[in-house]
Structure 1
Amino acid sequence: MTSINLTRDAWLKPLRSFQLSRRLVLKLIACAPVLASGAAHAASVSNPDIERLTRLVDVIVPKDETPSASELNVHTYLVTLGDQIDNYALLLREGSAWLEASSQKKFNKAFVTTTASEADQVLRLAMRYPELHLPRVFAARMVQDVLKIYYAIPATWPSLGFDGPIQPAGFSDFESRP
């Protein structure tokens, strides 16, 4: 039977032979942007995910007298947030995968091909999960972010009876200087 030497010296011996030269450090520094860009690319959202997000934003804000959320490219704003906020792209990918799996399980079809009623049922199902579970976190965050982005776009303001900020045109009811 062979015994394993777990003493401190046994663990440190390989590290003592490792020498970090100035040249190696410079090579690692030079490679850092390449490694970082590869990690950022790997964290981006895929086309199927974007298609599901497009469907989801239209479930949250469908077309009526105002444009739908996808017509105002709200889904692209979400993808941009994925590039700017830590773990947001991961939330989009995992949530999108959950939408697809739930749609397949409940309706035996892809989420992007569901009717408005079916897609709404999938979203409502996500909101019924316990508070800190992925489907609920994803659905709640998407509803919140989609509504914030949608109503920040000036094309939606007339439906709210809001003509826009008064400052660029000044105070319209002010006729003379104080």
Structure 2
Amino acid sequence: MKAETLQPAKKPGLPLDPVTRQPLSPMATPGYYPGFSTLSQQNFWDETTRQVVLERVNRPPEIRFFNDPAELALMTAVFDRILPQDDRDEAHKIPIVPPLDARLYQGRINGYQYADMPSDREVYRQGLKAIEAIAEFLHGRAFVELGPREQDEVLKTIHDGKPPAGEEYWQRLNVNRFWQMLVQDAIEGYYAHPYAWDEIGFGGPAYPRGYMRQESGEPEPWEVPEKRYEWDTPPDSLSGEYSPVGGQGETQSHVGQEGTH
């Protein structure tokens, strides 16, 4: 199955303009640096680097671990809520399941494995079943059939360390470590992609060109000025509500995802 066939299970709401309360249109380059393209710098990279980066755009890994269509749809839907990309147009959405799929298929780990956790492959197999159990318990439907807010409610129980169902799976999985693994894999898959580099104004690998301006915080000639814009979270999302991982504790709360982007 090709990675390009992955589609979100549901179409969530878009971020809102905080003044007009109208949805912000999806963009090719959301973030602080509209119009910037990391790939425009590829002529300054060596050939090996250029091939590696371009493959992330043109040839994402084929799906081989999540080869069951239902499991793949579930994994895609989970990542779509952990790291929504509704502010991106369809042509510039970043496939973040394929890098995870490749890691699990090849048996690679993130440099370590907790003694009280099974293999990463088993963590995902059992963890996805646990997510389905919670969705059925809370809403009586499969996770992919739920709306964005309902999906957030399911995932928040894992974030809080208080899953209300799937006990047979949590007996083998540390819920907080499973959540950390989900978030880490989503972030790593996203920010390894050059479209995410556009979002943060990163010009790609510095070798062999290097950096010219290393003093006074001045931008490099190929960089573009930062341009922020304000936005609020969609009304059908819990992402604007913050609580520390593992539930409420002594950690001070702060604003959620809304703010400047």
Q: TM-score, normalised by structure 1?
A: 0.62
The range that moved more, 116-125 or 127-136, is 127-136
Contact residue 66 and residue 156 of structure 1 kept, 8 A: no
CA deviation string 1:99-151 (max 9, x = no partner): 11111110111111211111111111012227994433222201011101211
1:108 alignment counterpart: 140
Amino acid in structure 2 at the alignment position of 1:151 = Y
The change in CA–CA distance for 1:134 and 1:48 in structure 2 (over 3 A counts) is: farther
Cα distance change on mapping 1:154 and 1:67 into 2, 3 Å:
farther
Alignment counterpart, residue 117 of structure 1, candidates 126, 133, 149? 149
Q: What is aligned with 2:121?
A: 89
2:240 — aligned with what?
none
Alignment of 1:43-58 (within 5 A): 44-45=65-66, 46-58=68-80
How far off is 1:166 after superposition?
2.6
8 Å Cα contact 2:135-2:141 kept in structure 1: yes
Q: Matched residue of 1:167: which SS?
A: coil
| Residue of 127, 142, 152 corresponding to 2:192 | 152
1:138 aligned partner, one-letter code? F
Bigger relative contact order, structure 1 or 2 (CA pairs below 8 A, ≥6 apart): 2
Unpaired runs of 5+ residues, structure 1, are: 1-43
Instruction: Say what the alpha-carbon RMSD is for the aligned residues.
Output: 2.9
Q: Which runs of 5+ in 2 are unaligned?
A: 1-64, 110-118, 163-169, 215-261
- Given candidates 141, 166, 171, the residue that maps to 2:211 is 171
May I ask how many residue pairs the two structures share in their alignment? 131
How many angstroms apart in 1 are the aligned matches of 2:203 and 2:186? 21
Residue type at the aligned position of 1:61? L
CA contact (8 A) 2:127 2:173 kept: no
Q: Which amino acid aligns with 1:85?
A: R
Structure 1: 4+ residue segments shifted above 3 A: 64-68, 130-135, 168-174
Identity %: 25
Bigger CA radius of gyration: 1
What is the CA distance between 1:61 and its match in structure 2? 1.1
1:6-155 correspondence runs (5 A): 44-45=65-66, 46-66=68-88, 71-83=93-105, 84-85=107-108, 87-129=119-161, 133-155=173-195
Amino acid at match of 2:74: R
